[in-house]
A = this chain, B = another copy of it.
Amino acid sequence: MPTQSANLRGQSLIAGEPTFGEAGETTGWNPSTNESLSPTYSLLAIEQLGAATEAAAESFTSFRSLDPTTRANFLEQIAQNLTDSSETIIERAKLETGLPESRLRGEISRTTGQLSLFARLVRSGDHHGVRIDPERSERDPRPRTDIRQRKIPVGPVAIFGASNFPLAFSTAGGDTAAALAAGCPVVFKAHNAHPGTSELVGNGIMEAVKKFELHPGVFSLVFGVGTEIGQALVSDPNIAAVGFTGSRSGGLALLKTASERPIPIPVYAEMSSINPVYIFQGALRDDKSDIKALANTYLSSVTGSSGQLCTQPGLVFVPSTTEGDEFVEAVANAIEHHEGQTMLTSDIHNAWLNGIHTLATQEGVVEIGRGETGTTQNSPAPTVFQASIDAFLSNPVLQSEIFGAVSLMVRYKDIHDLLRASQALEGQLTTTLRIGKSDLEGASHLLPILEQKAGRLLVNDWPTGVEVGHAMVHGGPFTATSDPRSTSVGTLAIERFLRPVAYQNFPQELLPASLKNDNPWQLNRLIDGVVTKVDEK
């Protein structure tokens, strides 16, 4: 059994110090073999958590005051450290997650790319949101005083890593990158499904903190029993905001804890989504439509990463037409060639089995195709089901997320069916239209509803593969996320960890650099309500 434990301590990293946990232990597991991986990880007791959160609070004043260049260089140093140890990280992540190497290589690029993107944002300084309303001494009846606004970081952030992205949504993932870019120290709760990967990445962050001689409280990595340490972390008075990617039950529990604090704090939880796809008749019938190709790309989106993606299309509306029948048949035929891939953990595998058992036994739900079980442990056969629109509308179980390679095709008659079904949807991360040229009018009727139901809308594309950019929204109405005003991917994600502060009648000497007249950080600013680029004034 190949394990790689040489450089792993099996301990939490609290403010730069490896720390033995006093509340039991765990290990990573190889989901392909169901064998445990060394080393043993000691789990932090709740009483030990204060050392991390207090150090985070202590580090906050100096960390948030960093100049943009230093902060950007710090983020890029983390990216560089991950790149330097990427072979070790990928080797360990493969063992702990069962994800294929190509996927993990892509994910490490994505993770370092996110860090670099936030470094560029920090250099631009646009996230300071500078607004200046200059003095108007001549105003009648009352002179106007000089008022300036900037956004400042909210304070130390608790972040919970996801199981399904051991790098991009984990230790140095999007939430961590956004929080550090904003100027918030991070206390990161590792997902116990990939402790070794978390430790290796945590080392990379810790080394960057040391290299830049930052206060060590800027970053801590804690291992613990999820529910207990999670509640304690969210209750901790030094924590000012929470980032979470995971299950609905987990997210809702943290949200409840946060709202019951003496001082409630925001929770940005990305939870569950079945990412409905609407296949219009034109997508199957218009010129050059290739029904088999569409079936194949659909199944690639359903089964990629063993279906363990937040944006996996778990629900597809297919017209009750001859072409719709052809599509369903093409899917049924194509799925036979899809072999199961290892899922992340045996718990996730068991939940998937339970989920499809529940779905299969709902009235009106029929299995229409199934792939092969994989050769490793925990690699179930991808499966597709079909149901009528009436069955779908009468039974909310049919829109429960089943995390893994399964999708439900719902057959509809006309646009009215789609409108009704859309109104009945829970909040989603994405919705997708597959249309031909003849479907523009139908699509335009559906879009106003879909905008109310999802954070991202796609046309003739698939929702998996979330681009990391400036325009991305990886968020959406409850219960896709706990806060639809936000995104957890892309540069807008930094807004989650900022709040505005106004400075009235300040002498130049006391203003922060971002607000001084001579604009030393070369920021774009809103002056008297007018967007004013740095090269304009």
Chain A residues at the B interface, C-beta cutoff of 8 Å: 61, 65, 120-121, 124, 126, 131-133, 142, 144-145, 147-149, 152, 154-155, 255, 259, 263-264, 266, 427, 440, 443-444, 447-448, 451-452, 454-461, 465, 467, 469-473, 475, 477-479, 482-487, 491-492, 498-507, 509-510, 524, 526, 528-529, 531, 533
Taking a contact as CB atoms under 8 Å apart, the answer to whether A502 and B455 are in contact is yes
CA distance A529 to B127 in the complex (A): 11
Contacts of A61 in B (CB 8 A): 448
Taking a contact as CB atoms under 8 Å apart, the answer to whether B510 and A142 are in contact is no
Contacts of A472 in B (CB 8 A): 133, 147, 149, 502
Taking a contact as CB atoms under 8 Å apart, the answer to whether B154 and A461 are in contact is no
CA distance A467 to B142 in the complex (A): 10
Taking a contact as CB atoms under 8 Å apart, the answer to whether A465 and B142 are in contact is yes
Pairs A-B, 9 closest by C-beta atoms: A473-B502, A149-B471, A131-B471, A456-B502, A133-B469, A133-B471, A458-B504, A147-B471, A461-B505
Taking a contact as CB atoms under 8 Å apart, the answer to whether A531 and B126 are in contact is yes
* A121-B529, A485-B266, A492-B149 known; A510 vs B470 contact (CB < 8 Å): no
Interface CB pairs A-B, < 8 A, 27: A61-B448, A124-B529, A133-B469, A133-B471, A145-B467, A148-B471, A149-B470, A149-B471, A149-B473, A155-B452, A255-B264, A259-B259, A263-B479, A266-B483, A440-B507, A456-B503, A457-B504, A459-B503, A459-B505, A459-B507, A461-B504, A461-B505, A470-B528, A471-B526, A492-B500, A524-B531, A531-B531
Taking a contact as CB atoms under 8 Å apart, the answer to whether A473 and B501 are in contact is yes
Taking a contact as CB atoms under 8 Å apart, the answer to whether A485 and B456 are in contact is no
Taking a contact as CB atoms under 8 Å apart, the answer to whether B487 and A500 are in contact is yes
> Min CB distance, A221 to chain B, in Å?
25
Contacts of A427 in B (CB 8 A): 263
The listed residue (B126, B451, B467) touching A147 by CB distance below 8 A is B467
Contacts of A478 in B (CB 8 A): 263-264
CA distance A13 to B504 in the complex (A): 40
Taking a contact as CB atoms under 8 Å apart, the answer to whether A510 and B467 are in contact is no
Taking a contact as CB atoms under 8 Å apart, the answer to whether B133 and A451 are in contact is no
Taking a contact as CB atoms under 8 Å apart, the answer to whether A491 and B461 are in contact is no
CA distance A506 to B456 in the complex (A): 11
> Min CB distance, A515 to chain B, in Å?
9
Taking a contact as CB atoms under 8 Å apart, the answer to whether B124 and A456 are in contact is no
Contacts of A461 in B (CB 8 A): 145, 504-505
* A133-B469, A467-B147 known; A484 vs B506 contact (CB < 8 Å): no
CA distance A155 to B458 in the complex (A): 22
Contacts of A444 in B (CB 8 A): 510
Contacts of A131 in B (CB 8 A): 470-471, 492
CA distance A479 to B264 in the complex (A): 10
> Min CB distance, A437 to chain B, in Å?
9
CA distance A131 to B131 in the complex (A): 19
CA distance A448 to B502 in the complex (A): 13
Taking a contact as CB atoms under 8 Å apart, the answer to whether B264 and A469 are in contact is no
Closest to A264 in B: B478
The listed residue (B471, B479, B526) touching A502 by CB distance below 8 A is B471
